[in-house]
Structure 1
């Protein structure tokens, strides 16, 4: 009994240590309620509102999600290993989750997920749990099958409901589809060379579609403070939120 009690205490301590290493979650006031944004690492994040939890590109150890509610919706942008991890999906409680994915990801997932998958192509949308989810093209410029991210292989996401519109870029450059976005409340925008874009390119695109709040993410090796300076030099109204996604 003493050993069991010690083990439970140890496991609780480890869980608290993992939670402490995550960036602090943000509580964002929206029109009707509030949204919790929990950065995890690199391109992985969790968003929660009114009992609905959305996991974006869950990869890495399942312990990184300790203390968080299990996913209701999982969005996966493409098949690269820092965005799609079957091992992570197997380790998480995904039994009741709906997976929204491009066709390339659907083709890579095991058959056990087949009844949980909705496939979207560029511009297509679906409606789940009161949330509208639309696929936004993500690709390198100029479009080419020889690029790291060819047009049509992966997708970003536009999530909207009665409270706000959230854009998740996935791995992309400042495409016309990104620049044409309107009335975005929260955006997660990637920037890392040579796979996506540098901070200057990312800032230029963000200035064009002017989200109310933008999180630079997926930015390994890039100067996000410079990104903030570039954006706010042109538009001080954009709330650039810098978080450490690489604890």
Structure 2
């Protein structure tokens, strides 16, 4: 699907790829090999089907920025990335020109 020049592809479960001038992924889980390297990865929470280190590693490089919640810190320790930001509900930041605001989620 494409909306105003932004290509959106559902990869699996809650994993999505957004491609425009940047490549962004959400909650990589059971994603295929060979995908484009991420500029930005957003991880909503630590459950295995949202925070899969093996899948994060498939799309991460030294130029990737990851945004996750603090409970993902241990799983992301040592990840190859330019930066990892841990956010809490209400936090706002801009990464790669993309505005991000963290909202609370309850499971």
Q: TM-score with structure 1 length normalisation? A: 0.40
**Cα deviation code 1:96-153 (max 9, x no counterpart):** 11000000012332234586211110010111121110101111xxxxxxxxx3xxxx
Unaligned runs of 5+ in 2: none
1:98 and 1:109 mapped to 2: Cα distance? Answer: 12
- Residues 69 and 61 from structure 1, CA distance in 2 versus in 1: closer, same or farther, beyond 3 angstroms? closer
- Is residue 107 of structure 2 the alignment partner of residue 107 of structure 1? no
Question: Of the two structures, which has the highest relative contact order with CA contacts closer than 8 Å and spacing of 6 or more?
Answer: 2
Partner of 1:116: 83
The alignment covers a number of residue pairs equal to 107
Query: What is the rounded CA distance, in whole Å, between the counterparts of 1:28 and 1:112 in structure 2?
Result: 32
TM-score after normalising by structure 2? 0.88
Alignment partners' CA distance in 2, 1:41 and 1:89: 14
**Higher helix proportion, which one?**
1
Distance 2:92 2:76 in 1: 20
Separation (CA, whole Å) in 1 of partners of 2:80 and 2:72: 11
Higher strand proportion? 2
Equivalent position of 2:25 in the other structure: 55
Is 2:3 the counterpart of 1:28?
Answer: yes
Distance 1:92 1:74 in 2: 9
Q: Within 2, Cα distance between the matches of 1:130 and 1:118?
A: 15
Partner of 2:46: 79
Aligned to 1:44: 15
- In structure 2, do the counterparts of structure 1 residues 131 and 114 end up closer, same or farther at CA, with 3 Å as the change threshold? closer
Residue 103 of structure 2 aligns to a residue in which SS?
A: strand
Secondary structure of the corresponding residue to residue 54 of structure 2: helix
1:91 deviation in Å? 2.9
Larger radius of gyration: 1
Per the alignment, in what secondary structure is the counterpart of residue 51 of structure 2?
coil
